[in-house]
Chain A
Amino acid sequence: MASRDDIKFLSNPNIGSQRKKYCRFKKYGIRHIDYRDPDFLLQFINEQGKILPRRITGNSLKYQKKVAVAVKRARHLAILPYVADLLK
């Protein structure tokens, strides 16, 4: 009997299998999100300056809410733009 390792696939069978998403705040133990750190907050907004949804960032609900508050505070202080084009 040929096992799965012996079979030679024409294409890589790992293509298409999605990597499991995780909440980086829980994983690395980040408890406070700094609203004055634009480089960090850039990870959670798209190139138009919109906040990315949880289904893309993988954040837990608790930290997604905190991220949203931090981004909004940064926008108020002109650290991040409200509207932008080609931000990244």
Chain B
Amino acid sequence: MIQYEVTFIVDPVLSGDEIKQTAKTYEDLLKDSGCAIVNIDEEGLKQLAYPIKKRTSGIYYIIEFTTPNGIFLPKFELALKRDERILRFLTVRLDKYGVKYNADKRAGLIGKKREKAKEEVKEEVRKAKPAAPAPKKETPPPAPAPEAAKSEEE
């Protein structure tokens, strides 16, 4: 089984339903060609680094899929190329490291999610730290107090 990843940019001028329909079309096309969809990622509206077809933004879709062979791929790419709703597309074959990277990214081990997780851990540590020294400070005063009380009694 070979794993591929196709990224395409959908025209932002289309309505929300049309955009979803476009993504759905290619998902179905892949399924009909005997592919197993691994993951579909919608990155949403993003600013383009340079204008394409007089558009300055686009909606990014990433579909990962596995297939026993890549015979149908030229047909699939031709369909993308002929579609006027698609601004750009790129199909990439993933090697074993790429597959692992994407799996880790989905699990939240890489990137912004990981940083967030780290921050959460730090916050927990911060919360735990003030809690720990506080009792220590509280505990010493009671100890001298009884002594003082004793001295007063004496």
Measured CB to CB, the residues of A under 8 A from B are 31-32, 34-37, 73, 75-82, 84
Residues of A within 8 A of B95 (CB): 32
Best-buried of A31, A32, A34, A76 by chain B (most CB within 10 Å)? A32
Q: Which 6 A-B pairs have the closest CB atoms?
A: A78-B48, A31-B97, A32-B97, A32-B101, A81-B49, A78-B49
Instruction: Place the interface of chain B in its size category.
Output: 10 to 19
- Distance in angstroms from A40 CB to nearest chain B CB is 9
Q: Besides A31-B101, A77-B90, A84-B49, 9 other CB < 8 A contacts?
A: A32-B95, A34-B105, A36-B62, A37-B111, A77-B60, A78-B58, A78-B88, A81-B50, A82-B50
Given A77-B7, A78-B52: A32 in contact with B90 (beta carbons within 8 A): no
Q: How far is A1 from B40 in the complex, measured between Cα atoms in Å?
A: 73
* A and B contact pairs by CB, cutoff 8 A, 30 listed: A31-B100, A31-B101, A32-B95, A32-B98, A32-B100, A32-B101, A34-B101, A34-B105, A35-B92, A36-B7, A36-B62, A37-B111, A73-B90, A75-B49, A76-B88, A76-B90, A77-B7, A77-B9, A77-B88, A77-B90, A78-B9, A78-B48, A78-B49, A78-B50, A78-B52, A78-B88, A80-B49, A81-B49, A81-B50, A82-B50
| A73 and B92 contact, CB distance less than 8 A | yes
- Distance in angstroms from B29 CB to nearest chain A CB is 20
* CB-based nearest A residue for B100: A32
Q: How many A-B residue pairs have CB under 8 A?
A: 37
Q: How far is A73 from B97 in the complex, measured between Cα atoms in Å?
A: 17
Residues of A within 8 A of B111 (CB): 37
- Distance in angstroms from A3 CB to nearest chain B CB is 45
- Distance in angstroms from B130 CB to nearest chain A CB is 34
Residues of A within 8 A of B97 (CB): 31-32
- Distance in angstroms from B92 CB to nearest chain A CB is 7
Residues of B within 8 A of A75 (CB): 49
* CB-based nearest A residue for B49: A81
